[in-house]
Structure 1
Amino acid sequence: MNKLTNNQKKFLRARGHALKPIVMVGQHGLSESVLKELEISMTKHELLKIKIRAEDREDRQRMIDEIVNVTQAHLIQVIGAVMVIYRGFDEEPEIILPRK
């Protein structure tokens, strides 16, 4: 996984702003069904907005770290309980990133 430049992250943040959360993580955390839904969503979308409902900051941060680890995606932004991740398609990417 290549590291994204600040310019590329800024570009992706702007694209992610208009997205609606596709995956919602409830108070039960990252269950198998949520992880499966996340993986299915990542095969259809390169850029995902995810809403996380957690008890406290530590729980939310733990879930964010686990989502990034499991999906092998880039963490683009976290604002409150909403995160944006990016994982480009290997073949025929929909989002063309600015050059480095």
Structure 2
Amino acid sequence: MKLRGKQKRFLRSEAHHMSPMVQIGKNGISETLLDQVDELLERRELIKVNLLQNTDEEATEVAGIFEETLHCEVVQIIGRILVVYRASSKEKFQKYSKQVQSV
């Protein structure tokens, strides 16, 4: 699913007041981390990911890995913080996806 500009702008505004839910540290990206991010995206649809100072990962590389393996959309990258979105498959967790469709 490719988001349009207005949809990304809406999601960025919704994520502005969020605090990062996932932190990537010196261990980098592991299978466990990807599973956690996958579960968070299923339940929340929109999350922030923070890359700590001691990680060797680059934000653009992490964004590419997330989009490829988790089939999500990286809405924004500012410094070491990524905003990630994926519509939930369960209707009870669809907080943002209904609003994104109407934008």
Deviations 1:45-74, CA, capped at 9 Å, x for gaps: 110100113336xx3322221022111111
2:44 alignment counterpart? 45
- Unaligned regions of 5+ residues in structure 1, if any? none
2:4 alignment counterpart? 5
Code of the residue aligned with 2:22 in structure 1: it is V
The alignment-based identity, stated in percent, is 27
Match of 1:99 among 93, 96, 102: 102
1:82 alignment counterpart? 81
Classify the secondary structure of the residue corresponding to 1:76: strand
Runs of 4+ in structure 1 deviating by more than 4 angstroms, as ranges, are none
Residue 91 of structure 1, CA deviation: 4.0
* TM score, norm. by length of structure 1: 0.85
2:20 alignment counterpart? 21
Structure ranking higher in helix proportion:
2
Contact preservation (8 Å) 1:29, 1:63: no
CA-atom RMSD, angstroms? 1.7
* TM score, norm. by length of structure 2: 0.82
Code of the residue aligned with 1:55 in structure 2: it is D
Aligned length, in residue pairs: 97
Please identify, of 16-25 and 85-94, the stretch whose mean Cα deviation from structure 2 is larger: 85-94
- Unaligned regions of 5+ residues in structure 2, if any? none
Classify the secondary structure of the residue corresponding to 2:12: helix
